[in-house]
Amino acid sequence: MSLATIDIGVFLAYVVGIIALAYWVSREKAGYDKNTEDYFLAGKSLPWWAIGASLIAANISAEQIIGMSGSGYVIGLAIASYEWMAAITLIIVGKYFLPIYLNRGIYTMPQFLEQRYDHRVRTILAVFWLGVYVFVNLTAILWLGALAINTVAGVELVYGLLFLGAFAAAYSLYGGLKAVAFTDIIQVVLLVFGGLFLSYVSLETIGDGQGVLVGFAELTARAPEKFDMILSSDNSHYADLPGISVLIGGMWIMNLSYWGFNQYIIQRALAAKNLNEAQKGIAFAAFLKILMPVIVVLPGIAAVVLAPDLSSPDQAYPVLMKMMPVGMMGLVFAALVAAIVSSLGSMTNSIATIFTMDIYSFYKKDRSQKHYVFVGRVVSFSSLVIAMICAEPLLGNFDQAFQYIQEFTGFFTPGIVVIFLLGMFWKRATAHGALTAAIGSAVLSFGLKVMWPSLPFIDRVGVVFLSCLGLAIIVTLFENSGVQKNAVDLDDINFTSSRNFNISALGVILILTALYATWW
């Protein structure tokens, strides 16, 4: 299916507008060259609304929209736990993690690990994150994005990959995080409006024009099995979302790792004007996360009724886009591409930040700020090229890319969470204990995958987390080195949050309680 002329016009207007806006917000006074703080942390000037919008724009990409819609098509509403539990996780991050990070004045998560442990821990985690960002996340965003463009507009996959890479480079390469964060405001507005409109049209169609409420009632009646939040053990997808342990087990570890210790996400909060502004942005993002299943999961469930014979679950969202009227199709298509390129821009900037600040600057000390910014731009561009080359070989054979990403990252996240939690909240934790947790996470995860294949991967994440926690504590106690000289002094950290943040946190908890009580 090809886009109509008016749809192409709408889409091109969006592309030109985003690039123009990115260059406008990135401009500097004559004679001033960007330094590393400007390029990687937006000059530490981001307001709360830019932080919140950029968090969501970075998070919601092809792997979320296409992948989670595909999982919604196969599994149902239960996959929304990734979104709804993330909302509570964001509140925890804003309340307890951000005060420590901002107090330390860090650029990157590996930098915190060197401050707390040693350079070995920093380097190992930096190399790990670079590998995951380039060969898992960046490739997934590009591949699923190209797949969506192919399905909707009939563009060949290779040309879709090239377009997405070129577009992301054009608007983010020059301005860095500032260009990404401020254009993300437009991206999120498009994403939310376009996604809600797609859900509206889908429900209207199911309800035969009698309204979205009738359509939703009809959808729940025709596909009741897709509206179980907590899957029973006899459900064919129990291995993906194993019942009550989704609420009390390994998904907490996955969420804490993603939202609390992930450079790609937390970099926006590190660029805040101050802690209060960062926490307001986090709370804003938490409320947007509650809304996300309507945009990324509901269309997949609707496709069970509207397109029951799809060859691949990841085609659910693009196929529904074909139902859009002329003009609106271009806007919804722009919203999808907005989600993709905003994540590409965010990801490449984080890759550049980690490589430049955690690896390159260690071996090439005392270079100029202009030089480090140049290196960051080269790394951003190079990562896009590598990911475009590797996208199809790595992801071309997976039906549910979102589940693939979760499964892969689940091998390493238990150890990462142990390293950070002990580093922040236990003064005796040592570098050897941290390294033991990092290595143990990969070894134990792989061992359980092979020897206990029936264990759901979320449960495996929980088991490995507890095991790594025990190993790190045992190694630390065996060293008997007492309080570490680089330990975080929690007495120096102000964990007091504003009244507005506390009210927002309570609101998030009450809304989620109501949602789970309704769809239990």
- Whole-angstrom CA distances from 404 to 29, 77, 170 are 45, 18, 29
pLDDT at 136: 84
Residue 327 — left, alpha, or beta (φ > 0 → left; ψ -120 to 50 → alpha)?
left
Q: Quick count: other Cβ atoms within 10 Å of Cβ 126?
A: 23
Q: Quick count: other Cβ atoms within 10 Å of Cβ 290?
A: 19
* Domain 5-319+326-399 bears CATH identifier 3.80.10.10: no
DSSP secondary structure code for residue 396 in this structure: T
Residue 146 · residue 161 · CB < 8 Å: yes
Q: Which residues of the chain have pLDDT under 50?
A: none
pLDDT at 292: 92
- Global confidence as pTM: 0.90
Helix (H, G, I), strand (E, B) or coil at 365: coil
pLDDT at 348: 92
Long-range contacts of 103-106 (CB under 8 A, 24+ apart): 103/492, 103/493, 104/488, 106/270
What's the one-letter identity of residue 355? F
Non-local (6+) Cβ contacts of 470 within 8 A are none
Residue 184 · residue 267 · CB < 8 Å: no
pLDDT at 318: 80
Non-local (6+) Cβ contacts of 380 within 8 A are 169, 172, 173, 348, 349, 351, 352
pLDDT at 400: 52
Q: Spell out the domain ranges in the chain.
A: 5-319+326-399, 410-490
pLDDT at 250: 87
In whole angstroms, what is the distance from residue 149 CA to residue 156 CA? 8
Nearest Cα to Cα of residue 78 among 375, 520, 459, 426: 520
Query: pLDDT tens across 203-232, in order?
Result: 999 998 898 999 999 999 999 889 988 888
